[in-house]
Structure 1
Amino acid sequence: MKWSGRCAIAAVGAGVGMAMTAMPAQAAPMSADLWQPLAPVEKLDVERYVGDWYQLAAVPQPFNLMCAKDTRARYEVLDPTNVSVQNTCTTWAGDQSGIAGNARVTDTQSAAQLHVSFPGVPFQDGLDGPPNYIVTYIADDYSWALVGDPLRTSGFVLSRSPAVDAAGWSEIRRVAESRGYNACTIVTSPTTEGKKEIQPLCTI
C-alpha cells in the first residue's frame, strides 16, 4: 500500500472481509512470471494480519524519501470490508511523521488484494478503486509479509519484529525473487533495533 510523501511504510491494510476465520497461511505460486500481475496469497486471515508492522525493506518511492528510520504501519479492522491504516516514521530531521488512511478489500475471495487511499493525496483519495496493495506472501506464523502492487512498481517487506537475522534476510530475498522482484531494486529500511544501513537486498 502506499502512503503519501509525508511518511513511509507499507501503508496498506490487511485484507479484510469475508475471510475473518482462521486459515492456514499459504503463499502465492513459487514460479513467478514477470509478465503476469503480482499474485495474492490464496487466503489472508485478516484478524491475524492486523496490528503493528515494521517496514524492513522496500522498493524506493518518492513519497517515502523523507523517512530515515523506524517506518511502521498499524492496521485495525473497521468493518467486514475496511481496515484503518496509520503510517508513521522518523524523518531525517528526527521528527515524527504520520498519515492515516483506509484499506478496502477488492478481492473478497482471498481478502489479500486491497485499494488503499489517503485523504488529500492526489490519485489516491478515493475509497474505491483498483487494487494497489497485494499481500503476495505471508509467513505461516504471520511474522512477516511481502506486499506490492500488480506491476511490482512498489514492494514492501513487513515484519512484526524490527530486526531479523542473516537467515531471515536470505529467506526474504528468496521469497522476493520467487515473486518476480529484482532483489537489487529492494533496499533495506533502517530501524533503531535492527539494520542501521540502507543497502540493496541483493547484497545481503
Structure 2
Amino acid sequence: MIRFPLRRAAAGLAMLAAVATPAVASPGAASALPGIAPLQPIERLDVARYLGSWNQIAVVPQPFNLECARDTVANYQLIDERNVRVQNTCTTWSGGGNGIVGNARVVDPVTNAQLHVSFPGVPFQNSLDGPANYVVAYIADDYSWAFVGDPDRLSGFVLSRSPEVTPQRWAEVRSVATRLGYNTCLIVTSPTPGGATDIRPLCSVG
C-alpha cells in the first residue's frame, strides 16, 4: 500500500519497497540494527485474500513518497504461486496522478508473509530476487487492514481495504504499531476519502 509511497517524478521509487539502499534481512536473519529484533511476519498470509486494492492510511515517511499528497492505493494481482503484480497509484500535490508497476516475490514459503518487492529501472530495487523488504507483520482477522514494514522497521505502511477510518480503527492501529516496536509519532497519516484530511503524527490522532 503493500507501502505499501509511490515513485517521485524524478526518482521513481515505490510504495512497497524500502528506500534507496535500506538495511534488509533474509527470512530469519538477525536485524542490522544492534540489539533490536527484526520485524516478525504473521504466522500465515492467505495470499488469495490479500490480493486486490488497499488504501494507504498511514506511513513512515520516505523520500520516495513525498510526491504523493493523498489517495495512495496499492493493487495486488496474482501472477503465479511466488509472484504478485504490484501497482501503486496516488494523487500528487499538483493534483495529477502518479503510478508505478512492480513485482512482489514470496521469499518465505513457510508464512508467505515476507516478500521481496522490485520495480524495473529503480536503482537497488530492480532485481526480482533479493532479501525480504516487505513483511506483513499484522493483518486483521477479516483482512480489513494490515501493517507492513521491513525487517529493520525503516519503513512502515498501514493499509486498509476502506479509505474511511474511524476513531476506533486509529486507536487499534496505534496499539498494533506500538506492539510491533514502532514509534507512533514517526508514523504519519495519509489523507484518504473519509479518513485523514491532513498529514499528522499517528500519536496525535484520535
- TM over 0.5, shorter chain: yes
Structure 2: distance between partners of 1:142 and 1:10: 19
SS at match of 1:69: strand
What is the deviation of 1:10? 3.8
SS at match of 1:39: coil
SS at match of 2:130: coil
Write the deviation string for residues 51-106 of structure 1: whole angstroms up to 9, x where unpaired: 00000000000000010000000000100000000000000000010000000000
* Mapping of residues 1-204 of structure 1, within 5 Å: 3-6=6-9, 10-11=15-16, 35-204=36-205
Amino acid at match of 1:193: G
What is the deviation of 1:8? 8.3
Write the deviation string for residues 113-165 of structure 1: whole angstroms up to 9, x where unpaired: 00000000000000000000000000000000000000000000000000111
How well do the aligned residues superpose, as a CA RMSD in angstroms?
Answer: 1.6
Structure 2: distance between partners of 1:121 and 1:87: 14
CA gap of 1:53–1:145, structure 2 versus 1, over 3 A, is same
Structure 2: distance between partners of 1:49 and 1:55: 14
SS at match of 1:181: coil
CA gap of 1:142–1:171, structure 2 versus 1, over 3 A, is same
Q: Where does structure 1 lack aligned partners over 5 or more consecutive residues?
A: 13-33
Q: Tell me the equivalent position of 1:24.
A: none
Structure 2: distance between partners of 1:143 and 1:149: 21
CA gap of 1:158–1:8, structure 2 versus 1, over 3 A, is farther
SS at match of 2:194: coil
CA gap of 1:85–1:56, structure 2 versus 1, over 3 A, is same
Could you state the TM-score of these two structures normalised by the residue count of structure 2? 0.85
Structure 1: distance between partners of 2:15 and 2:115: 12
Could you state the TM-score of these two structures normalised by the residue count of structure 1? 0.86
8 Å Cα contact 1:105-1:114 kept in structure 2? yes
Amino acid at match of 1:118: F
SS at match of 1:79: coil
Structure 1: distance between partners of 2:15 and 2:142: 19
8 Å Cα contact 1:44-1:111 kept in structure 2? yes
What is the deviation of 1:41? 0.1
8 Å Cα contact 2:7-2:98 kept in structure 1? no
Structure 1: distance between partners of 2:174 and 2:8: 26
Structure 2: distance between partners of 1:190 and 1:153: 21
What is the deviation of 1:5? 2.7
8 Å Cα contact 1:8-1:72 kept in structure 2? no
SS at match of 1:5: coil
What is the deviation of 1:191? 1.0
Q: Where does structure 2 lack aligned partners over 5 or more consecutive residues?
A: 18-34
